[in-house]
Amino acid sequence: MEPHGRGGRAFAGHGWRDRHAARRHGAGHRGGRERPPLRRRGGGDRAGPLRRLGERLLHRQPAYLLFDSRIEQRFAPPLYPPIRAGSVAALARQLDLDPATLEETVRTFNAAIRPGATPLDSRTVGLAPDKSRLAQPLATPPFGAIPMRPGITSTNQGVRVDRRTRILTTAGVPLPGLYAAGVVMAPNILGRGYLAGGAMTIGAVFGRIAGREAAAHALA
């Protein structure tokens, strides 16, 4: 599940680090302002950088979500405890990263932060890519890391259904006795992009409708 913290995104202030300890992307890209639309209907692939990052992570290297103890207090406890250390260099050694590079990456990230009126408005300037919100310094030990792996939440492709969740042919005709619920029909609701929590909601809501319709069909 997506980690959410009290009153907002859980991982405020973090940045991904790749195996070479360099920052690759900030928090908030998923559902945040800096997230590009994944794919436009009838249009081209707009997810180039994100997709390339995913491919690299999938095939070659893990990424690490980094935070300090102050940030960690703001998010709900994760299912698996993070890797923790008393300093950035010690954390790097635990992650099998180059300590000097990770220290430099964290230093650069911290120096690039421009605080806003609220933590939500804090951003970085001069990084590539910059973090557009929730930029918090990693400064208060112990420091923590969570290994990250890419996952597919949905493909934005699926079958067409009507209000009763009956699967429709390309001609718009319901196929008798065939119903769909969940991600396989989610594009009927979401259209494009992704709404956090929406996938489970769609599964629950339309699963109930599909179950009721299938039962009625069987009993008819």
Ligand X SMILES: Cc1cc2nc3c(=O)[nH]c(=O)nc-3n(C[C@H](O)[C@H](O)[C@H](O)COP(=O)(O)OP(=O)(O)OC[C@H]3O[C@@H](n4cnc5c(N)ncnc54)[C@H](O)[C@@H]3O)c2cc1C
Contact (Cβ atoms closer than 8 angstroms) between residue 174 and residue 162: yes
Contact (Cβ atoms closer than 8 angstroms) between residue 167 and residue 160: yes
Distance between CA atoms of 85 and 141, rounded to whole angstroms?
8
- Tokens in use for 66? 């980094």
Residue from 78, 129, 197, 211 in contact with ligand X (CB under 6 A): 197
Number of residues that bind ligand X (CB under 6 A): 15
Judged by CB under 6 A, the stretch of 111-119, 163-171, 190-198, 209-217 that binds ligand X is: 190-198
Does residue 1 belong to the site contacting ligand X (CB under 6 A)? Answer: yes
Residue 108, phi then psi, degrees to nearest 5: -65, -40
| Residues near 161 by beta carbon (within 8 Å), at least 6 away in sequence | 167, 168, 179, 180, 185, 188, 206
Q: In whole angstroms, how close is the CB of 180 to ligand X at the nearest point? A: 9
Does residue 76 belong to the site contacting ligand X (CB under 6 A)? Answer: no
Judged by CB under 6 A, the stretch of 109-117, 138-146, 196-204, 208-216 that binds ligand X is: 196-204
Distance between CA atoms of 156 and 180, rounded to whole angstroms?
15
- In the bound state with ligand X, the residue whose beta carbon lies nearer, of 10 and 184, is 184
Does residue 198 belong to the site contacting ligand X (CB under 6 A)? Answer: yes
Binding mask 153-172 for ligand X (x = CB under 6 A): xx------------------
- Tokens in use for 218? 């069987």
Residue from 199, 205, 209, 214 in contact with ligand X (CB under 6 A): 199
- Tokens in use for 155? 């493909």
Does residue 8 belong to the site contacting ligand X (CB under 6 A)? Answer: no
Binding mask 10-39 for ligand X (x = CB under 6 A): ------------------------------
Does residue 79 belong to the site contacting ligand X (CB under 6 A)? Answer: no
Q: In whole angstroms, how close is the CB of 195 to ligand X at the nearest point? A: 8
Contact (Cβ atoms closer than 8 angstroms) between residue 76 and residue 82: no
Residue of 63, 36, 6, 4 whose CA lies nearest to 132: 36
Residues 115-154, interacting with ligand X (CB under 6 A) = 151-154
DSSP string, 160-186: -B-TT-EEE-TTSPEEEEEE--GGGTT
Q: Roughly how many angstroms between the first and final C-alpha of the chain, as a whole number?
A: 39
Q: In whole angstroms, how close is the CB of 208 to ligand X at the nearest point? A: 12
Residue from 119, 141, 182, 193 in contact with ligand X (CB under 6 A): 182
Q: Which residues bind ligand X (CB under 6 A)?
A: 1-2, 151-154, 182-184, 196-200, 203
